[in-house]
Structure 1
Amino acid sequence: MQLPRDALLRAYRRMATIRRFEERLHDEITSGEIPGFTHLYCGQEAAAVGVCEHLDDDDMIVSTHRGHGHCIAKGCDVIGMMKEIYGRRDGLCKGRGGSMHIADTSIGMLGANGIVGAGAPQAVGAAISAKLDGKGKVAIAFSGDGACNQGTTFEAMNMAVVLKVPAIFVFENNHYSEHTGYQYAVGTSHDIASRAEAFGMKAWRADGCDFFSTHDAMRDLLAHVRAGNGPAAIELDTERFYGHFEGDPQRYRGKGELDRIREERDALKIFRTAVGEAALLDAADLDAIDAEVADLIDRAVTEARAAPLSSPEHVLEDVYAEY
């Protein structure tokens, strides 16, 4: 199904924002201003945006330690995110979550998570609430080829099937669980989606470096889940351009591997080629978005640097939920 022009421009803007945001973090982390571990999402932009372009604020997602892309794709404020990563008082989580714990429940972003595989049970809980609410909403657990080996993920998939809730398990297979290749670590013929099928749910597979492949597969998957057929899963074959964490020397990569994937599997290049060949968008339209996004990220860094840090008197705030 061909998307309208405004939808294509929005999708590219979100992918370009993820790319520029992450590349700027890569540069800024060397300054020592950003505390804590950071795991960059560069290369996987088409996966996050291809999934989240189908969602609204009432649909819920749970992210991972590599969560910036999911946050931006779901609509989190980019300047608030940058302030959060810088540990500032007016960040999205008041500077207390940092890179791995960004959340904005007002738009259905239930939080990133530093524990591998911990998001799946949370998404099932959210899916139970969505089923009880009866408004056709869904809850999505993003995870990777590492989380597919976790018992929490298995238990969550089983519970989702038993309770027939609208939970969706998105496995972004970027080929490395930290530093271990999935060919070695995943025992199901290198096929993560088949694990979900074994629990009794329907599973899709798509190219996670191609926005259109991901978007089309998610359209069909969401129609299936929103119709009341219970949970589903999708495996997205994708790539990460940087290491598992910032500072990872990536000695586990093959010779020329990064050069190859940046040339052949760059989600933004693939999108530009597709819309150009189909005469859907002009290069000038996309170049203008790139310039606007660059200005936005520059402003986000400037404002984050100038924003105040939390003070000791705030340490006991938000320890408990207030009703």
Structure 2
Amino acid sequence: MIQPSLLKKQRLLLILFSVLILLTVVIGMGIGDAPLSYNRLIPTLLGQGTFKEEFVLFSIRLPRLIVTLLAGMALALSGAILQGITRNDLADPGIIGINAGAGIAVAIAFLFIPIELGSFVYFIPIVAFVGALLTAILIYLFSYSKTTGLSPVRLVLVGIGFSSALSGAMIVIISSAEREKVDFIANWLAGNIWGADWPFIWAILPWLVILIPFTLYKAHRLNLLGLSEPVAIGVGLSIEKERIVLLLTAVALAASAVSVTGGISFIGLLAPHIAKALVGPRNQLFIPIAILLGGWILVFADTIGHNLIEPNGIPAGIMVAFIGAPYFIYLLLKK
């Protein structure tokens, strides 16, 4: 049974981070190459702005902010699931190579498969999912032992190895490509939010609408997977079946996010850790907070990075890495 005090603390934190997200989004709507006066935001949102104000808000700012928020939520939830099924606090879809698998699949599709512009938005998440899934399966197989089961330490090491190998393969693939396509892939790898338009929101939103409630439904099983295997088996849990189902969920979330934001790491590491520190390790408690935290971190990083240096700013992936890389090293030394 969850203590009432923890539930109360969770509700307060959910309200706090929701307000924080709202404030950051409002700030993001007002700043940029074409500043929008804050006292004109509400009239513009209600359809009472000038053509320029409505174009800047609805065609440039708002889609980017929403895409970034949804992607951050997806990456945070993916990281929380991976940490639960592997019992490894260092697991993150970017660190263990899943994002790299999605990226190389997107690069191959973008360079070599003729795709109609209208179907490109919805095709890319599927391609990313296939690449991420194949990578996750290979990482799982190389990390699994018949005698000891899934080794959490080996999983991280194998994942880092796959990530490096796939990054090298990416360089080979794009070395002979056209300059324009190479520029796009380079921006993708840096974590530059490229899918900043309304169709990309409709491409990523269904994944979250389905998989967030599904993960919360599976939260109790994630708690059991976090225990030792004899305990989980003793209460009747089918460990391998649950791991596979939840691994597919984590892969789908990561792939849907990186297909529109590019290669962003560390969100899935940072958000679950901070959430656990606030409300404890129970998945029912920390996952909702981690989802909001992941969304806010990515929105904050992109808003700062996008407006820091003219003309194109710093990619969100690099801004997140400034925070996440030192934290990853700290956890690596600690664990």
Q: TM over 0.5, yes or no?
A: no
Structure with greater strand percent: 1
The structure with the largest alpha-carbon Rg is 2
TM-score by length of 2: 0.29
- Choose between structure 1 and 2 for higher RCO, CA contacts under 8 A separated by at least 6 residues: 2
